[in-house]
Each structure stands twice: as C-alpha cells, then as structure tokens.
Amino acid sequence: MSEASLPENPPEKRARELRDLLNHHNYRYFVLDDPEISDAEYDRLMQELIDLENSHPELETPGSPTRRIGSPPLEKFDTITHPTPLLSLDKGISEADIHAFDQRVRRGLDNDEELSYTVEPKVDGVAVSLVYRNGVLESGATRGDGFTGELITENIRTIGSVPLVLRKDAEIPMPSFLDVRGEVYMNTDDFRELNRGRMEEGLSLFANPRNASAGSLRQLDSRITAQRPLKMFVYGVGHPDYLGSGSHGDTLRMLEKLGFPVNPLTEIRIPAEALVRYFHDIDAMRKHLAYEIDGIVVKVDAYEHQQRLGTTSRSPRWAIAVKFEAMQEQTRVRDIIVQVGRTGALTPVAVLEPVSIGGVTVSRASLHNEDEVRRKDVRIGDTVLVQRAGDVIPEITRVIPSYRSGSEQPFVMPQKCPACSQSAVRLTDEAVTRCMNAACPAQLKGNILHFASRSALDIEGLGKKLVWQLIEKNHVHSFADLFRLDVKTLESLDRMGRKSAENLLAAIETSKNVPLSRFLYALGIRNVGEHAARLIAERFGTIERVVSAGNEEIQAIDQIGPVAAESVRAFFDNPENRKTIEEAKRQGLRILPANEEVGGRTASTLSGHSFVLTGSLATMSRKAAQEKIEAAGGKVTGSVSSRTRFVVAGESPGSKIERAREIGVEVIGEERLIALLKEAGIS
C-alpha cells in the first residue's frame, strides 16, 4: 500500500473534519451573512481543534482556522513587493464628475458601443493585498507606496472574514496563484466599544475607525490584532488573468464563491445613466450603515475595455472614486495659533471647542495660510461650520456672522517665527509666510525626524523627544551631526542609559549605507516624495550626477514636472546643503548607487534574484540586509516560493527553512550573503 493511500488516523481525520466545518461556518457568517450555528457552538468547535492541534503539533497547517488566534510578537515587519501595483484612484466630488468620467471613458474607447459599470461603496478602511497559492493564504500586505508594502500575514490571518483556505467550487477551477485586493475596516459600534475599553484601561483613544484598523493591522504581536474587531470586503484582483473572467463584475461573483466577502451593496453591470442614482442612494443610506463610507467607486466592467483604456503612472483610467459632500457641524473658535513646519512654513491653526463630526471628535482645523484666514474672515471667538470627509483634515467652511458679539479678535500673522523669534517673511510668489532662519529648531526638528523616518534612513530609536533634546543642547545642527554622535553625548541626555545609547549608535551605523532613492527622499526636498525620488535615482544613478544635473535634464524624466525639477535644482544649488552632504560622507555615510544600469555601469550579479530572510543576523539588522540586497539589484520577499533564489538563515530561523528544503531552494548563512554582496560591490 502506498503512503498516499494509507488511511488517516483518528486525530488527523477529526482535525480535517473540524477545519472543514469551521471554514464552512466562517463562509456562512462572513460572506452569506446567514449563520447556521450559534457563536457558542462555533467556539466549541474551535476549542476542540485548538486542543487537538496542541496535542498533535504535526497536524498544524498554514490554512487552519486556529491561525486566527495570533502568534508571538515579531521584531518588525518585513516588506514585500506587490505582484502588481496597487494604484490610487482619480477623485470626483459631484454628479458632474460622474458624467465627465463617463465621457472620458467613451472618448478613450473611441466608439459609441454600449458600456456598463460596476459600482460599490467606498469603505473608509485600509487597503491590503492577499496572495493565495494553490488555494492557501500565503501572504498579506499593506498597500504601502503602491509598489511595496509591509508584510502583515499573521495579522491578516486573525481576521475572520479573510479565508485562510479557498472554497472548492465545481464551477471555478482552483487558481494556482491569486492576488486579491481588499479593504480592512471596523464597524462603528465595534470602534466605539474598543475605545470605551481603552478609556477604562487608561489608554490613548483611536481617532476614528480607519485609524483603529490601521493601528490594529500594524501590531507586531498578532495576538493583539486577533482581539480587534476587524472585517474585510474584497473589491478585485491584481490582474484579470488570475480567474480568467471577462469582467470585473464576474470576478467579484467568482471571489464570493471562493469564500471572499464582497460588499452586498455592490451593483454589477449597470448603465451610465444609473450611476448618479446609485451615488445619491448610497449617500442617503450612509448614516445608517454599520461602517463608515466616504463615497462610491465606479469601474468600467469589461476587462477588454479596461485594458484598452490603460493606466497612468498613479491611477487607472477606467475607475474613479466619487466622494460624498463632507459632513459639517457648528462649533466655536477658541484661539488661532501658528505652527512651524519643517520647510519653515508658518501655518495658522484654529483651536476649536471639541465637536463630533461623523463619529470623530474634532478640536483643530487648519487655516492653511494668511490669505485663507482673510478670505473666510475667521476671527478668534467666531462661531463656524467645520467639515471633514474621510481622511481629509478638518477645515472651516464658513463663519456665521450673525453669532458675532463684537468681542471677536482678528488674526494677525506674526512677523517673527514663534519657534525661534527670527524674522518670518512672505515671498512675493508664495501664499505662505516662512521662517528664514535655517537653524530654526522647529524646522530642524522636522528635518531630522524626516531624515530618520522609516521611508528615509530608518534610524530606529530616534524619536521626537530625543531629537528635541539633541537640538536644544546644541549637539545636532544638521543631519550630518547624527553621524558624529557618541555614547558619552547620548548618555548625557534625559532617560538615556548606556545600552540605549549603544543601540541608537548601532542603528545610526546601519543607516550609513543608504540607497540613493531613499537618501534623496530623506533630504526633504520640497515637492519630491518617495516616488519622485525613486525616478530621479533611476535616471541618474549616483548622487554626484544628481547634484550636477541641469533643470532640463531633471524635467526630462517622465512624471517629473517643472516644479519638482526646480525644487531639486534649488536644493543642490544651495552651497550649505552640498556642504552638509559632503560632511555626512566624511562621517561614513555611503550613498549606494541605483540598481539599474546607468552610464554604462553593468548590472549586479544579484540582479533579478529573490531572497527570503529568516532569523536574526549577527552583523546587521534584517532591514539593513534587505537594503543591501536591493542595492545590489536583488529583491527581498516575505515568503518562500519556486521563484526564490536564496533563503538567508540567521539565528533561530523559522519554518521558512523547512519550506525551502521542501521545494529545493538553496539555504545560505550570513557569511555567504556578505560574500555575495561583496561580489556585487556592496559592503
């Protein structure tokens, strides 16, 4: 008798029965909203499976419902490249925008053929990407910058509405690979209950359900995530070929059959003339929904039409998000203060009597600039209307003059910076008043925090309070000074012992090898975000070539406009900025060239190779290892597959080694990784 035909032993058989039962009841509860058993009975079945797997660890599987209870804490999240980018959507705010979108689509298709759309509520949650291989959840990730996201698989597993194993459906062949996109959210009542509990425990409160969802997904301890009432709706797949359907609507129906929850308010294949009706219907019912929405999403239904319309670098031409009118409430302006940003901009901010708008308590609203205050004639003591919509910063829409008593005080923009008392000037071509003091502590604090942030040099442990101390005590006057810090200096700061000082210095040392794109972003150049920094790095390859590039050369880069090009050129034309960069390099900063072939430079021997890191490395953090691999042309993913070239195993590696050996992927140690990096010119 072959091994495959051996009969199952009783525990193995019962475990399989329990998994099938629990997966079935999850589908009934989360997708069909038609449970067949009580919560108590479900809990009894779950506990039986937990006990069975605890007694027989060999029965554990990645798709077991028991994985929803969470796992021990991680040190930090790995990152993963999305199989296809998660693009953002163009925005609209009215009926006119719906009509204009339909007309753009028709012009883009260049014919008068009949069109249909699929439309759904725009849930105010957190976008995620879920990858399934052979019907089993392999990875879950945040949207991130659209191209790479944080790997949060263990947290995703805890969400009851996320299928760990896809349902078998005779009509749908099980896909070998599936990249599903969804929105993780929290019901309003669940959010309030969560905050009520946090208040009783003396913990800080979440600002809104979306904020609570995002914070829950980014817990390093997934057992905490498992206690949060998260839910998910799916809204599509990364590529039409995954399920082989001909339209977006058909794909959603197939996803439902595979076990995914699709928003029941979604309407499939409706004509253009029905879109405005849907927009108003959903707007009218949003106050009665269990979760927050801030608009609708309209998509061209036929994939053939989507492919013909194509995408821009940031958004598809075949979809649009149309926002609802913002919710408004009345309140009073207690004061108008001025905040100083890291670019020196002085921004007036209205301090409000707290008011609840759509379930969120609002106590401040940006007034943007001096002209905006004058245009709206906002005064201290005024009664005003305040609005918010989705993630938009609360704003004052108008003053109610009839409530004025005569005691209201007009706002006057200060002529001196409130942070450093130096002159503040409004340039002739700008609406913003700026502090002109380059050493202003408010600007410097923001610049240093930005320089050390996760998407920049990622200096772990360099937080707001520590940065403020370093600046106040004259230890740091620019980012170059970070690389001069020593244990003695750090130990002199409040609440900073030797061990903490040594850890911070180790993090600073690790950050000294930084890819060009991250360094350009870290500089905080106005109008240059992560995407623009990546494009500039890919075009010029080295910091020296960026510094010497002319305005026209920079503008010639696709997706880089004249404003961003002028900002880059102005930054590097400033001798102080160039001096700071050179000083940082003298202190050991190494700005790694871009991976792509530039100016005749050959591609690295690691180009195109995929790595997976597991366990703790002795000479560098996993984040540093990832950056070095990427600088050498390789990429780092969070899961082992047939496309993985190497699994790098450090101390206390996880199950990824076993997976690698099962499918024949080479496992190497840290020494071999360092040797490979040296061969590629990375040390």
User: Catalytic residues, which ones?
Assistant: 122
CA distance 130 to 179: 6
User: Residue 540 — φ and ψ, nearest 5°?
Assistant: -105, -25
CA distance 306 to 647: 38
- Residue 564 gets the label, from left (phi > 0), alpha (psi -120 to 50) or beta, of alpha
Which of 48, 59, 61, 65 has the alpha carbon at shortest distance from 13?
Answer: 59
Tokens linked to 609 = 């190779």
CA distance 608 to 29: 43
With residue 25 as reference, give the H or E element that holds it: helix 10-26
> Looking up tokens 């990429």, which residue turns up?
635
DSSP labels for 193-215?
HHHHHHHHTTPPPPSSHHHHHHH
For residue 609, what are the CA distances in angstroms to 291, 315, 539, 612, 650? 43, 29, 22, 10, 19
Tokens linked to 183 = 């929105």
Residue 384 and residue 372 in contact, taking contact as beta carbons nearer than 8 Å: no
**Helix, strand, coil in percent for the chain, rounding step 5:** 40, 25, 40
Beta strands in 228-290 (DSSP E): 230-237, 267-270
Tokens linked to 309 = 């319309």
CA distance 539 to 321: 32
Which of 362, 338, 508, 326 has the alpha carbon at shortest distance from 418?
Answer: 338
CA distance 142 to 216: 12
Three-state DSSP class for 447?
helix
DSSP 415: S
CA distance 145 to 85: 9
DSSP 402: G
DSSP labels for 533-583?
HHHHHHHH-SHHHHHH--HHHHHTSTT--HHHHHHHHHHHH-HHHHHHHHH
Q: At what angle do helices 562-573 and 575-586 cross, to 10 degrees?
A: 70
